[in-house]
Amino acid sequence: MSKGLRCGDMNAASSILQQFGTVNTGGAAEDLTQIDPAVSDLVSQLAALQSSQETIFGDTTNGNTHPVQQLQSSLLNPTPTMMQSRRKVADLYERTKTRAQSSTGEQYMYYRAACLAMLGGSESISEASTLESSGLVKTVEDYLYASLWHAIHLADGNSMSLSGGADGGSGLRKVSEAVARLSVLINQWGPSYFEQQDEDFTSASSAVALAAQGGTIGGANNLPTNKIPQSGGWAYALPLMSSQQYATALAYLGEAGGGLGLLQAAHVGVVMNLMGLSIGDFTLDEQKSSQQTLLPMLVASYSASLQGVDAGAALKYLVLLSDKGKFVKEQVCVHPL
């Protein structure tokens, strides 16, 4: 079931329980080989919430044509019934965690506790030291997913109003705070925590990024002074994006990834802008302004790199910033095509 939880596919988790699980109907002692009714009930509710979507995180608005449906059925707007089921699973988790702490060498017990923690949302398996032995958090991706999954569970019932905003600003407050804490940690850890340098640049991404800078794959004399990370910058950019640090992510990608990184950062930024996403860094500090000039700078820099090769294509990229007005005019004047 943990795979279904970690992939966001509650239909798969529900199917596994139905095929292989036996519901515990009660007895003198708790049978750890059986499924508690609270777990079965909550998984069924989550599967119903997912409906025909590939994952429970899918677009329930059907292309924004059914916004009310999203408000009535969403992980960010749990029903009273779901909240009650979560509390029952949370109680079961506490009992299982206590038993795991008192037992020795029972890996299954920690695994079971971690699954219950994810399902009930009472504690993040990425932060609970008692769940380190579960084996469910082994990579950066595992940590990010577990943290964000737990953040979603912090939403209060009736958190969204029909206008699409937070009800009184309090319904999603705890979710916002959890995402903000995660973004602070990722920024504090920095690129070196996520990037793994490939000294001989044998990876495909490094080779392409180096070639995009005009370098030649070969001896040490051909390597740039500032080595491009093996991931091309994505190893740090993706965690930043996961915690909604879009401006920092694109800026890092454009700088650390060389020519290829600039190309990717500019195009990702353009797509985000067309989708109506604000290219800034999420923060709880309302006084902190978003970086409105980042996208024009990225696109203008990429446009400048094309001027000697294809002046027409370079101009087309500047046209993409037609709504940026003054900045585009300055770029055309400073860098005439």
Residue 158 has pLDDT above 60, yes or no: no
Q: What is the pLDDT of residue 220?
A: 35
- Mean pLDDT value across residues 135-145: 85
Residue 311 has pLDDT above 60, yes or no: yes
Q: What is the pLDDT of residue 198?
A: 47
Is 121 exposed, middle or buried (CB count within 10 Å of its CB: 0-12, 13-18, 19+)?
Answer: buried
* Residue reference for tokens 């059925």: 73
pLDDT bracket for residue 304 (50, 70, 90): confident
Residue predicted with more confidence, 2 or 115: 115
- Mean pLDDT value across residues 93-110: 79
Q: Which two tokens stand for residue 109?
A: 């017990």
Annotate 270-312 with DSSP letters as a single string. Answer: HHHHHTT---SB--S-TTS---TTHHHHHHHHHHHHHTTT-HH
- Mean pLDDT value across residues 64-82: 66
- Mean pLDDT value across residues 313-326: 71
Maximal C-alpha separation, the chain? 83
Which of 65-79, 103-117, 130-144, 178-192 is predicted with the least confidence, judged by mean pLDDT?
65-79
Q: How far apart are CA 10 and CA 17, in angstroms?
A: 10
In sequence order, the β-bridge partners of residue 77 are 74
- Mean pLDDT value across residues 226-248: 91
Which of 258, 196, 247 minimizes the C-alpha distance to 225?
258
Q: What is the pLDDT of residue 251?
A: 94
Q: What is the pTM of this model?
A: 0.73
Residue 217 has pLDDT above 90, yes or no: no
Residue 234 has pLDDT above 70, yes or no: yes
Identity of the residue numbered 167? D
Residues near 132 by beta carbon (within 8 Å), at least 6 away in sequence? none
Residue predicted with more confidence, 58 or 81: 81
Residue 199 has pLDDT above 60, yes or no: no
Query: Which pLDDT tens digit goes with each residue over 250-297?
Result: 999 999 999 999 999 999 998 998 888 888 899 887 656 556 778 888
Residue predicted with more confidence, 164 or 274: 274
Helix (H, G, I), strand (E, B) or coil at 77: strand
Is 327 exposed, middle or buried (CB count within 10 Å of its CB: 0-12, 13-18, 19+)?
Answer: middle
Query: Which pLDDT tens digit goes with each residue over 10-61?
Result: 998 888 888 876 665 554 445 555 788 899 999 999 999 888 888 888 655 5
Q: What is the pLDDT of residue 43?
A: 92
Helix (H, G, I), strand (E, B) or coil at 35: strand
Which of 54-68, 141-155, 296-310, 323-337 is predicted with the least confidence, judged by mean pLDDT?
323-337
Question: Are 175 and 156 contacting, i.e. CB atoms less than 8 angstroms apart?
Answer: no
Helix (H, G, I), strand (E, B) or coil at 160: strand
Residue predicted with more confidence, 257 or 196: 257
Q: Domain boundaries in the chain?
A: 2-186, 190-334
For the stretch 224-227, contacts whose Cβ atoms lie closer than 8 Å and that sit 24 or more positions apart, written own/partner, are 224/258, 227/197, 227/201
Q: How far apart are CA 278 and CA 31, in angstroms?
A: 50
Measured from the Cβ of residue 20, the count of other Cβ atoms closer than 10 Å reads 9
- Mean pLDDT value across residues 83-88: 92
Helix (H, G, I), strand (E, B) or coil at 137: coil
Residue predicted with more confidence, 194 or 2: 194
Q: What is the pLDDT of residue 60?
A: 52
Tell me how far apart the terminal alpha carbons of the chain are, to the nearest angstrom: 58
